[in-house]
């Protein structure tokens, strides 16, 4: 995608299996065996550590496995490591309203029920975006007034369906580009301008007054223009009394663009200073793979970037959650999206943690600073 052009379930954790790893390679970080600790247990109580639930609904296909249905070890991983889950695709427009006024909540309901069963919160993702929209919406030839009605009905129905069960919603996803301009291709902002965003938040709030409502985007930490556009919009919305509650920093990072974004923590703080919650919503750290495998150096750098991302959140009192995207590596969206890149998550597979996992544990154990 163009997006980053610059850029029944299980009970308690099984006992850790005996390590199957062979002799460590001197000074090279190596995958650990099954994690013996849980991220959600070591995290401070006021920081929820999370994962997306991969796959989902009408976006299923070869690039979209459905492991929540088919993979017991994946369910175990989600059930034991995390305190918040985000359906990765199941609540996107094409999944949830594949035909006008025809809703399919099956995949979303399964993810939400799974989270509830394991005492985990849910982040809802998302209500308006320039991608994953069905053809009936993008090619329907609707007037601006009709689009307004369509968005109202969608938000009221979807947020209403999960009223009281979804703690936070990404209401407006990726509405600005890296130059701080409105992102082209969003059916609603294209037709109605940025003003529709305020209405989207009001409608979501009417449908579930308890949900914390977010803006959400990538590269906010690395593009000053994009960051400024969001800070300006957030100030305006708050001044108008619009129920904006949080800023989501996706955190799709790439070792190809070093160093770790120097403005990461200050970006979180800038939104917190407006009185918003902030969340890292889609953290992953991808890399170019030579011969299909990550090197020890790459894994060590990746671990350090995960550490820095979590440390950034811990340093900002209003930073409430860190959600990782598409784990484990075997299910990640990265290889299908960024040619030649991968190994973006802290797990190789459902039961094999990487150095990044150990770095996350250490960062979380260090607590708030």
| Binding flags for ligand XIL, 316-335, as an x/- string (CB under 6 A) | ----------x------x--
How many CA atoms are closer than 13 Å to the CA of 132, on its beta-carbon side?
24
Alpha helices in 62-161 (DSSP H): 67-70, 72-81, 93-96, 106-117, 135-138, 144-161
Which residue has the CB atom at the shortest distance from ligand XIL? 333
| Residue 283 engages ligand XIL in binding (rule: CB under 6 A) | no
Catalytic residues: 174, 282
Number of residues forming the site for ligand XIL (CB under 6 A): 10
Candidates 71, 88, 208, 277; binder of ligand XIL (CB under 6 A) is 88
* Alpha carbons 126 and 120: distance in angstroms, whole number: 19
Q: For residues 176 and 333, which CB has a smaller minimum distance to ligand XIL in the complex?
A: 333
Exactly one of 58, 64, 202, 307 binds ligand XIL (CB under 6 A); that residue is 64
| Sequence-distant (≥ 6) Cβ neighbours of residue 359 within 8 angstroms | 303, 304, 306, 307
Q: Nearer to ligand XIL by C-beta: 52 or 352?
A: 52
* Closest CB 3 distance from ligand XIL, rounded Å: 6
Measuring CA to CA, which residue among 365, 246, 354, 248 is closest to residue 311? 365
Q: What is the Cα–Cα distance from 109 to 335, expressed in whole angstroms?
A: 28
Tokens representing 234?
């957030």
Q: Which is nearer to ligand XIL, 37 or 247 (CB)?
A: 247
Q: How many other C-beta atoms lie within 10 A of the C-beta of residue 286? A: 25
Query: Can you tell me which of 34, 81, 84, 89 binds ligand XIL, judged by CB under 6 A?
Result: 89
CA–CA separation, 88 and 84 (whole Å): 12
Q: Which residues bind ligand XIL (CB under 6 A)?
A: 3, 59, 64, 88-89, 173, 250, 282, 326, 333
């Amino acid at each position: 995608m163009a997006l980053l052009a610059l850029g029944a379930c299980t009970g308690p954790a099984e006992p850790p299996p005996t390590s199957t790893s062979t002799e460590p390679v001197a000074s090279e970080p190596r995958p650990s065996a099954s994690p013996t600790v849980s991220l959600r247990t070591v995290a401070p109580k006021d920081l929820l550590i999370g994962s997306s639930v991969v796959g989902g609904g009408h976006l299923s296909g070869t690039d979209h496995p459905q492991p929540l249905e088919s993979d017991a070890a994946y369910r175990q991983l989600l059930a034991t490591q995390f305190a918040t889950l985000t359906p990765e695709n199941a609540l996107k427009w094409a999944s949830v309203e594949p035909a006008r006024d025809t809703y399919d909540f099956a995949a979303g309901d399964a993810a939400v029920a799974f989270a509830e069963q394991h005492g985990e919160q849910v982040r809802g993702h998302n209500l308006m975006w320039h991608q994953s929209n069905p053809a009936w919406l993008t090619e329907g030839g609707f007037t601006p007034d009709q689009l307004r009605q369509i968005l109202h009905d969608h938000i009221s129905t979807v947020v209403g369906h999960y009223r009281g069960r979804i703690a936070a919603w990404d209401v407006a996803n990726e509405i600005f580009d890296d130059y701080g301009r409105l992102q082209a291709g969003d059916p609603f902002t294209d037709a109605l301008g940025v003003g529709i965003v305020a209405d989207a938040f009001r409608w979501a709030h009417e449908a579930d007054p308890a949900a914390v409502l977010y803006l959400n985007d990538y590269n906010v930490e690395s593009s000053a223009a994009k960051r400024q556009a969001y800070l300006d919009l957030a100030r305006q919305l708050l001044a108008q009394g619009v129920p904006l509650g949080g800023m989501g920093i996706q955190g799709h990072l790439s070792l190809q663009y070093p160093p770790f974004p120097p403005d990461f923590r200050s970006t979180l703080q800038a939104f917190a200073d407006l009185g918003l919650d902030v969340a890292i919503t889609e953290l992953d750290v991808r890399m170019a793979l030579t011969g299909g495998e990550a090197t020890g150096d790459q894994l060590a750098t990746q671990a350090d970037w995960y550490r820095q991302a979590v440390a950034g959140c811990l340093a900002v009192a209003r930073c409430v959650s860190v959600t990782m995207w598409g784990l484990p590596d075997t299910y990640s969206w990265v290889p299908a999206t960024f040619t030649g890149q991968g190994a973006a998550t802290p797990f190789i597979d459902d039961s094999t943690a990487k150095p990044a996992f150990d770095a996350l544990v250490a960062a979380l154990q260090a607590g708030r600073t």
